[in-house]
Structure 1
Amino acid sequence: MRRKGDHFTGLTSPAAQMKCGVPFSCAADCTREGLLAAANSYLAAQTAGSTSALKLSTSNFTYQQNNKVSDITKGLLSIPYKIDLNRSTADTTACASYTMWISSTGSKPYVVGTQIRHLGNDTSTISMVDSIAATTGDLFFDSKKTLGYIQKEDWTTISPATARPSRELLKKVGDAYLDMWTDAKAADSIPWGTDCERVEGSMYTKPCGGQLPRGGSKKANGMRRYVIDEEAGSVDVLCQFDSLGTMPDSHEVRVVDGKVKYVHTITVGKVG
């Protein structure tokens, strides 16, 4: 019988074996439960300021902080932080999760967006921790204001399943948002909700559909990495904000009832 997390399974019938092509060679399933368990282990490690409890891949692991490959033992995870708020989403197709957390106390507050990735659909080990971490001095940074806005949001799972936005729509919306700086038509292609709220650092805008860029830059925002969660109606894109100056950036968008409900941005650096 299959055990969750196994790479190989003993299948009890020839018909079941044929579904795998080769007997005993089915890859593990990437489950929502496994992804969120790994995200929770990351949060526990951050609270402790130690990576010792993280099950990191011993053969193929990468730690990236603010778009630069780094030593995990010298990065943000080496320092304990009191986390005031956190929220995670899961992408079983890409076998990845996205976690946002806020620490608004202490001498160096942070707002962080982290994507965690797993190879071979195996959520029992982590192959990549990829963080965008904004702190004092970064664009529109004020962790207490950001915390106040995000605490009021409703991230209830979208139910029934038939009401959830498709993966294709979520990716399209995420890309269109980042394309607004280079494509004059991108803003009008996004299904803005009339009650949409946008939190850029600590700058709050409602509704989202006002005061939008409409082209002007020749540099597209690059290095895009996606976590798409249909149950939450969300897409997170970690990227490099090349349109305004090579800044490490996270853009998260939530779609409810076919319309954009929330936009969150975490940007490291300043414009210009």
Structure 2
Amino acid sequence: MLSSTLKSALLTIALIAAYAQSIVAAECTREGLLSAAYSYLAAQSTGQLSALKLSSTNFTYQQNNKVSDIAKGLLSQSYKIDLNRSTADTVACASYTMWISSTGSKPYVVGTQIRHHDNDTSEITMIDTIAATTGDLFFNAKKTLDYIKAEDWTTIMPASSRPSRDVLKAAGDAYLDMWTDAKAADRIPWGTDCERVEGSMYTKPCGGSLPRGGSKKANGMRRYVIDEEAGSVDVLCQFDSLGNMPDSHEIRIVAGKVKYVHTITVGRVG
């Protein structure tokens, strides 16, 4: 028979092993985040929600900053996706997916953040979408497609050269602060070859003709997906500085400098 001391030791070992296993199971992985993002793209391309593993107890669908019925939103229709790209944030357990549909009667340029609870990427707890279409600010899906498909989004190597999470978040915040803070633009590490695509309006280099304050309303409702491997930060927000518009701003930093800026804005200024 096992002694009480040995039994106690074995029980302790078993508990430690179970705890370690639970930590591993709860780890938010890049692979899990991207798998969920790909399931979202599959659902969008078919218009079939069955491709998504949504939380049965804790799910929210938000489209253009309004909580909505997913069965009546963009995902209820199928779209031919001409281009897509996804990034992953293992700290926030969230992903960002951009997709463009340039054909059909209603083209779209869309930015979507997908979130998971308790580091469990097997279920989706939130789909948060900014969807711009004909009539929105600078919208032209075909032009946007041509600009973005020419970009280089190769994983930044070596890992030691990737921008930190703090640097990426600071760049995203500084960009959105330019409309209220005259000095915000100077806090952004602009690259001389930076390309900015605002809707379908192309600017190179990015660092010229920037806002220098003037608005009293800060851009709010900021939600972040930060991916150090891609050197990117996406911020979904409410663009209050120019008129309460749903908006996505994505920035990529390579070799310490801003390389790309993308904006998706729903509505028109004024």
TM class, shorter-chain normalised? over 0.9
Shift in alpha-carbon separation, 1:271–1:162, aligned structure 2, 3 A = same
Separation (CA, whole Å) in 2 of partners of 1:249 and 1:158: 26
Match of 1:264 in 2: 262
> Who is 2:75 aligned against?
77
Residue 233 of structure 2 is aligned with which of 226, 235, 257? 235
User: Which residue number in structure 2 is paired with residue 56 of structure 1?
Assistant: 54
Shift of 1:28: 1.0
Aligned partner (choices 99, 102, 108) of residue 100 of structure 2: 102
* Aligned-residue offset at 1:151: 0.6
Asked if the contact 1:84–1:104 (Cα under 8 Å) also holds between the matched residues in 2, the reply is yes
Paired with 1:163 and 1:13, the residues of 2 have a C-alpha distance of: 45
Q: Equivalent residue for 1:118? A: 116
More helix by share: 2
Matched positions, count: 260
- Name the structure 2 match of 1:191: 189
Normalising to structure 1: TM-score of the pair? 0.92
Partner of 1:8: none
Q: Check 1:128–1:169 CA distance in 2 against 1; reply closer, same or farther (3 A cut).
A: same
- Shift of the 204–126 alpha-carbon distance from structure 1 to 2, 3 Å rule, reads same
The separation in 2 between residues aligned to 1:87 and 1:15, in whole angstroms, is: 44
> Given that residues 17 and 24 in structure 1 are in contact (C-alpha distance below 8 angstroms), is that contact kept between their aligned partners in structure 2?
no
CA deviation map 1:162-202 (0-9, x unaligned): 00000000000000000000000000110000000000000
Give the equivalent residue in structure 2 for 1:202.
Answer: 200
Q: Which amino acid aligns with 2:251?
A: V
The equivalent residue for 1:88 is 86
Matches within 5 A, 1:12-23: none
- Structure 2 counterpart of 1:94, one-letter code: A
Q: Give the partner amino acid of 2:209.
A: Q
Instruction: Summarize the Cα distance change of 1:16–1:245 in structure 2 as closer, same or farther, 3 Å threshold.
Output: farther
Alignment partner of 1:175 is 2:147: no
Tell me the distance in 2 between the aligned counterparts of 1:120 and 1:235.
22
Partner of 2:162: 164
* Structure 1 runs, 4 residues or longer, greater than 6 Å off: none
Q: What is the TM-score when the length of structure 2 is the normalising length?
A: 0.93
Q: Report the RMSD for the aligned CA atoms in angstroms.
A: 1.7
Question: Residue type of the partner of 2:85?
Answer: R
Report the Cα distance in structure 2 between the residues aligned to 1:37 and 1:13, rounded to whole angstroms: 37
Q: C-alpha distance in 2, partners of 1:24/1:193?
A: 45
Matched residues in 1 for 2:91 and 2:80: separation? 31
Over 3 Å counting, the alpha-carbon distance change for 1:73 and 1:195 in structure 2 is same
Residues 237 and 13 of structure 1: CA distance in aligned 2, closer, same or farther (over 3 Å): farther
